[in-house]
Structure 1
């Protein structure tokens, strides 16, 4: 493990890892947390959807929003080095809901200006597709990459695109280090 990064004014720095399905978000987020000696927030939707009986509904999307927020807040409360990595964020509910239902739950829209992240890593759609029973959008990686890019730009997010096959984690680590050292 590398030396602990200096954080900005000792405030919690939240770094979100987002992007299309099968872009390595969970692997990268866990790898970043390990490298920086910090904690990470897993994707609540994965836990939720593993127990769904039937298709995901609009209400399920709203439930996942509240679950993601609660999980992030719980883990944030025990971070000791002021650095938290998030394997996706509640904005995912907005992205999927708008795609599947044509609208996002109102609590998600209301939370966008209130809940900010210091930095986003937008993972490129350059990995081979990995089948998973919880993935629904094979062949739509470029589309969702662009949706995420537009979403991040619409909220004026500080973000960087990260890609690479063999060097994806090292590219992500270098990008985070550049951000932390600004």
Structure 2
């Protein structure tokens, strides 16, 4: 019987190395990874997004995830790394607009993942045209929101810290521990 694909999601505040961590973990484990759809959307449509755009972005994220998960399964891969899920959309909506669309909340309940990684805010801020919160106070507040979400859901998770190779090695150790990968 073929083993099922393990889906490991990286969530957290902006500029905490989520994309780099996903890419590095995918290379280490010879796996695929799903990039963050919001970056593509905002680069195309600009930063003047509205509350209603969050559902469009969420749908795009799930479509991209489903397509890349199916491709990884067809290749017989054992795991896939996902840069953000709908918890990110929930936090984004609530932090920026004070609310989250019901469809996003329903999707959070319907989707299944095997582990979460939460990168710490210990990396220096990297300026990017799509980033909105350069101050450490906001980033730490968001980190604690994500941490609270992960504490209060059933999927195993771990915090990942350090810079560069140290961060990647912490991520590798966490993945091995969380999904019992040998």
Normalising to structure 1: TM-score of the pair? 0.91
2:83 is equivalent to residue 84 of structure 1 = no
Would you say the 8 A contact 2:156–2:178 is kept in 1?
no
2:32 is equivalent to residue 39 of structure 1 = yes
Q: Secondary structure at the match of 1:160?
A: strand
Matched ranges for 1:127-142 at <5 A: 127-139=123-135, 140-142=138-140
Q: Secondary structure at the match of 1:138?
A: coil
Q: Distance in 1 between matches of 2:93 and 2:84?
A: 15
Normalising to structure 2: TM-score of the pair? 0.91
Give the superposition deviation at 1:180: 2.9
Segments of structure 1 that go 5 or more residues without pairing to the other structure are 1-8
* Counterpart in the other structure of 2:48: 55
* Counterpart in the other structure of 2:180: 181
Segments of structure 2 that go 5 or more residues without pairing to the other structure are none
Would you say the 8 A contact 2:7–2:82 is kept in 1?
yes
* Counterpart in the other structure of 1:112: 108
Give the superposition deviation at 1:137: 1.1
2:91 is equivalent to residue 95 of structure 1 = yes
Q: Secondary structure at the match of 1:128?
A: coil
Structure 1 residue ranges (4+ consecutive) displaced by more than 3 angstroms after TM superposition: none
- Report how many aligned residue pairs link the two structures: 175
Q: Secondary structure at the match of 1:86?
A: strand
Q: Distance in 1 between matches of 2:92 and 2:47?
A: 17
Give the superposition deviation at 1:54: 5.2
